[in-house]
Structure 1
Amino acid sequence: MSGYTNKPATNTEAFVDVFFRTGDLGVIQEGGYLQLTGQIKDVINKGGEKTSPSEVENIVLYNLTSWSDKRYASRF
């Protein structure tokens, strides 16, 4: 949570009332289980470094060695 220290604008956007908005999208399934279905923003933030998920996907697909691997990975 260090990315929120001394950053009032970031805090205002992320914390609404007592809720922390993660930016994830989901639906509540039967039994009360949460299924994550996506993200509001197309950005991965890892340690303050922002990366596009499509960039990661392209690197993974480029480095797979066989066509069957690529077909399998593209299903996700």
Structure 2
Amino acid sequence: MDMQALQNQLIEIVEAVIGARVQADEYMESLFDSMSKVQLMVEVKDRLGVTLPVDEIDALVESVQVLADYVATHRKP
């Protein structure tokens, strides 16, 4: 999966979790509360097979680009 496709998939996941539209480079940390962060972690694990670490989740929800970079480097081929 290329980076653009990964970002698009993550945008779909994020939008479903928070109920708002986002752009890949948009700062989105303020759109999440603790429950939506947990829901994001579950969705990313279920759909993409990548576990987002609890102690890094605040940094990972900075933007879809940041999240995509993490997922791309931690995905199994």
Query: TM (normalized to structure 2)?
Result: 0.29
Normalized per residue, which structure has more strand? 1
Which one has a bigger Cα radius of gyration?
Answer: 1
- The structure with more helix, counted as a fraction of residues: 2
By relative contact order (CA 8 Å, sep 6+), the higher-ranking structure is 2
